[in-house]
Structure 1
Amino acid sequence: MNHPDTREWLLANGLGGYTSTTVCGANTRRYHGLLVAAVCPPVKRRVLLARVDEFVHTSQASHELSCSCWHANSTTIRGGYSYLSDFTLDPVPTWTYRVAGGELSKQVYCPPGQNSVVIAYHWRGDNTISLEIKLLANDRDYHSQTMASPDWQFDQQVDDRGIFRVQAHPPGEPAGTPWYWCCTPYRYTDYRFGGQWYRDYHWSAEQERGLPDHEDNYYLGSVLGSLMAGDRIALTFTTEADPRPLDMRDLVSRRKDDAHRAVNRARLPQVDLSHRLVSAADQFVVRRGATGEASIIAGYHWFTDWGRDAMLSLPGLLLCTGRFAEARGVLHTFAAQLDRGMLPN
């Protein structure tokens, strides 16, 4: 690509959390992040994993694939967008980079029903490369911003299975949400601890809105993997206390099967438009943690479940798609809040 693609993409996890950024990888608004967890589904969203920065190293050169925009030069997105040869959204967001004499593909997916994100890489080239993946963390409400401080602490612990536990300790606040990550296969990867702040990431969309438009992220460390032709590695990030490594190929296959079943349930023809509509509708349907009943998100990135929007959208999202049990659940969710004939907006 000759120019950075700042179109936004989003995948929701059915709990109110999501993963979302731009095609080029630069976070352009405060709501962007790779692991944005709803710690009290579907509300109290927190940005935990802000971004990852990828580098391909060979004996001849190093190539940065990620993109960033810095506050000091807020009109320019810098990084490796020139290596990006293709991006597709279905069945999962997939990037293809032409770099170092081969192709590196990257896929991102949120498994439904958990605050998790899987990022998988596949190298197709005759040579061996070293892939470096820098982990940039945070722990903040998704409406706010983080400024670096020596009083911030990020604890990292790793067990004998190679599962890392991360917990932030913001100054003057309770300990943050613990989260976990692991890399598969673990046998040919290494981890180099970081420990410093990357300062002044610029949010162009927030600047346009006249809001605070920059923040700092904490560099946890770098995953280092040596990839030969056909090799794959995957990183799983999650708030699940006992995380299991997830295989992207299994997740993609399951997503395709789920899409076919959803289209059949909606009695729509098995064509691309049907899949896109049903998939888009599914992004807004969530399950409330306190009751287990379904609810409807009013919109992304910043809205939660609102009564008015839920009632307006219920016929199209749930009745037209044959999701009658969930439609009943939404009515139960809001009927429980009924007060003198009024629903909370």
Structure 2
Amino acid sequence: MNYLEFDKNKLVNLSFSLTHELLRANRSGSFATTTLVFCNTRKYHGLLITPQPLIDDEMHVLVSSIDPTIIQHDTEFHLGVHRYPGGIYSPKGHKYIRDLKIDAIPKTTFRVGGVVFSRESVFVSNADRVLIKYTVEECNSPTTIRLQPFLAFRQRHKLSKANNFVDKTYKKSQNGVNFKLYQGYTPVHFQFSKEVEYIHTPAWYYNVEYLEELNRGYDYLEDLFVPGYFEFKLKKGESIVLSAGTKEVNPKGLKRQFTAEKNHRVYRSSFKNNLINAAEQFIQKRDGRTEIVAGYPWFGVWGRDTFISLPGLTLSIGKPELAKAILDTMSKRLSGPLFPNLGSDNDASYNSIDAPLWYFWAIQQYVYKTGKYKEAWTNYGKKMSVILEGYKNGTEYNIKMLENGLISGGIDGKALTWMDAIAEGKPVTQRKGMPVEINVLWYNAIMFFIELVNKSKAKVPISEWESVAEKIPQSFTEVFWDNEKGYLADYVDGEYKNWDIRPN
């Protein structure tokens, strides 16, 4: 019995299988995500989703899906699943699925008459390339396999529509071909572990429907380009590995690489191992940077989310060196006393009053885990000083320390805390003034700064910060606490106190 396993009864029930999703990442920015039966229900679903730096700083869906077909005695059995307007599913390949087992990697097994056919996939670590292993486990007669790639080549927040600008040609790669639908994109190389036949029959498939986008009120119809298909024969017990990636590789080593990548993954044999496996999906190392993705499938790297999640994704699984690499990357992005809320470089937004304070907390957890006080001061002490001084003296977004030692911030039209949803150009919950959790983080930052200076024996004056720290507990109680209500205000703006109950 596998720790994660889905049987036929669940998988053929689309109300179940379409609401459960798979996610795999390569630890360097690329990922794949879809439903349990490979029917994409979001514009964010795809088999190869990867950065395209020559176009923008966003992620792009290059390969939407690859549909297998089993051919026996001139009869075709289509294993793909797509939804079209009117709730029509075509083909209905989910009816052939026998089970889905997720150990180190997902394995889906299909049964078509006497043919038992399996599909396993794994990303190549630190490369924009996915490997898919197809195996004929049982068959009574010669079996032909056809693979049909559905290509999107578009930014993940957008949808592809049929057009006359698409490049319908292809070029040869070793044991395969490659496609580049538009200028600026990297080509996608489809290569196999043995020679296959490619038949070029370019065509658009119109109005593929994404159910989740429809339910969310977004555009939900996409046209996908299918350049042709690959065909090959497999005998009983024989496997073939397909590589779909942005760079051409030597196909002779694909089977060995697939096995090596699979063995490198954490086996999902327990709840703990599932958490470790999941944690690894959020780390990306690319172009000398080590970062945390705020969430899949549509978030990028966010400062606040990085510092909050860093201890759980790294220190809790015994990887302090990974925590340090992330802190080093993020430290370079400090601008004045602020970290980017989201984005990077010239595209960064700094409207986060708490990200710099969570930075202190993340370093604090790193130090408590490793005991490396002196190293932490050497690497991060100057940055921490800049943040404290900036908050004390005042910085962007009217962030400043008041006479009572508490922190206030906010300008009209900007949300600075984690409750930063925007509707019609305005913050849904602005929380201007003194948010309660910001001042808790502020006090913790000062206290940890003092502790770090003392334990690292740094020659830095701290008497001023000790005086501020002495003020804060009484000021905090006077500003936020209410004896009659028995709880803290959520935020205070001048004479106004907000008493909404929130998880702050």
Do these two structures clear the TM 0.5 threshold for a shared fold by scoring above it? yes
Is the CA contact (8 Å cut-off) linking 2:175 and 2:193 kept in structure 1? no
Q: Which stretch of structure 1 is more off in the superposition, 307-316 or 79-88?
A: 79-88
Query: How far off is 1:249 after superposition?
Result: 6.3
Among 114, 118, 122, the alignment partner of 1:109 is 122
Summarize the Cα distance change of 1:61–1:19 in structure 2 as closer, same or farther, 3 Å threshold. same
- 2:235 — aligned with what? 228
Query: How far off is 1:64 after superposition?
Result: 1.1
Whole-angstrom CA distance in 2 between matches of 1:143 and 1:333: 26
Among 297, 302, 307, the alignment partner of 1:301 is 297
Is the CA contact (8 Å cut-off) linking 1:9 and 1:22 kept in structure 2? yes
Amino acid at match of 2:206: R
Between Structure 1 and Structure 2, which shows a larger proportion of helix residues?
Answer: 2
Alignment of 1:190-339 (within 5 A): 190-242=197-249, 244=251, 247-248=254-255, 250-259=257-266, 272-289=270-287, 292-339=288-335
Among 20, 30, 33, the alignment partner of 1:20 is 33
Summarize the Cα distance change of 1:241–1:271 in structure 2 as closer, same or farther, 3 Å threshold. closer
Is the CA contact (8 Å cut-off) linking 2:150 and 2:226 kept in structure 1? yes
Q: Deviations over 1:241-288 (max 9, x none)?
A: 44545545653454334527xxxxxxxxx9522221111000001113
Among 175, 187, 190, the alignment partner of 1:181 is 190
Among 13, 19, 29, the alignment partner of 1:3 is 13
Summarize the Cα distance change of 1:59–1:242 in structure 2 as closer, same or farther, 3 Å threshold. closer
Q: How many residues align?
A: 326
Whole-angstrom CA distance in 2 between matches of 1:178 and 1:74: 33
Is the CA contact (8 Å cut-off) linking 1:36 and 1:48 kept in structure 2? yes
Is the CA contact (8 Å cut-off) linking 1:181 and 1:243 kept in structure 2? no
Whole-angstrom CA distance in 2 between matches of 1:105 and 1:25: 13
Q: Deviations over 1:269-318 (max 9, x none)?
A: x95222211110000011132xx131100000010111000000001001
Query: How far off is 1:162 after superposition?
Result: 2.6
Summarize the Cα distance change of 1:175–1:335 in structure 2 as closer, same or farther, 3 Å threshold. closer
- 1:266 — aligned with what? none
Q: Deviations over 1:209-258 (max 9, x none)?
A: 10000101111111111122112112101112445455456534543345
Superposed CA RMSD = 2.2
Summarize the Cα distance change of 1:218–1:276 in structure 2 as closer, same or farther, 3 Å threshold. same
Is the CA contact (8 Å cut-off) linking 2:124 and 2:261 kept in structure 1? no
Query: How far off is 1:43 after superposition?
Result: 4.7
Query: How far off is 1:129 after superposition?
Result: 1.1
Q: Percent of aligned pairs with the same residue?
A: 25
Between Structure 1 and Structure 2, which shows a larger proportion of strand residues?
Answer: 1
Which has the greater radius of gyration? Answer: 2
TM-score (norm 2): 0.61
Whole-angstrom CA distance in 2 between matches of 1:165 and 1:255: 25
Summarize the Cα distance change of 1:234–1:257 in structure 2 as closer, same or farther, 3 Å threshold. closer
What 5-or-longer segments of structure 2 have no aligned partner? 1-7, 342-504
What 5-or-longer segments of structure 1 have no aligned partner? 261-269
Is the CA contact (8 Å cut-off) linking 2:175 and 2:251 kept in structure 1? no
Amino acid at match of 2:326: V
Q: Deviations over 1:36-94 (max 9, x none)?
A: 11234995211111111111111162211111101x22365641211101002221111
Whole-angstrom CA distance in 2 between matches of 1:217 and 1:271: 38
- Mapped pair 1:137 → 2:151: yes
Summarize the Cα distance change of 1:18–1:254 in structure 2 as closer, same or farther, 3 Å threshold. closer
Whole-angstrom CA distance in 2 between matches of 1:89 and 1:271: 9
- Mapped pair 1:340 → 2:336: yes
Amino acid at match of 1:183: F
Whole-angstrom CA distance in 2 between matches of 1:23 and 1:249: 26
Whole-angstrom CA distance in 1 between matches of 2:269 and 2:119: 26
Q: Deviations over 1:109-137 (max 9, x none)?
A: 11110100111110022321111111111
Summarize the Cα distance change of 1:205–1:157 in structure 2 as closer, same or farther, 3 Å threshold. same
- 1:263 — aligned with what? none
- 1:167 — aligned with what? 180
TM-score (norm 1): 0.88
Summarize the Cα distance change of 1:17–1:303 in structure 2 as closer, same or farther, 3 Å threshold. same
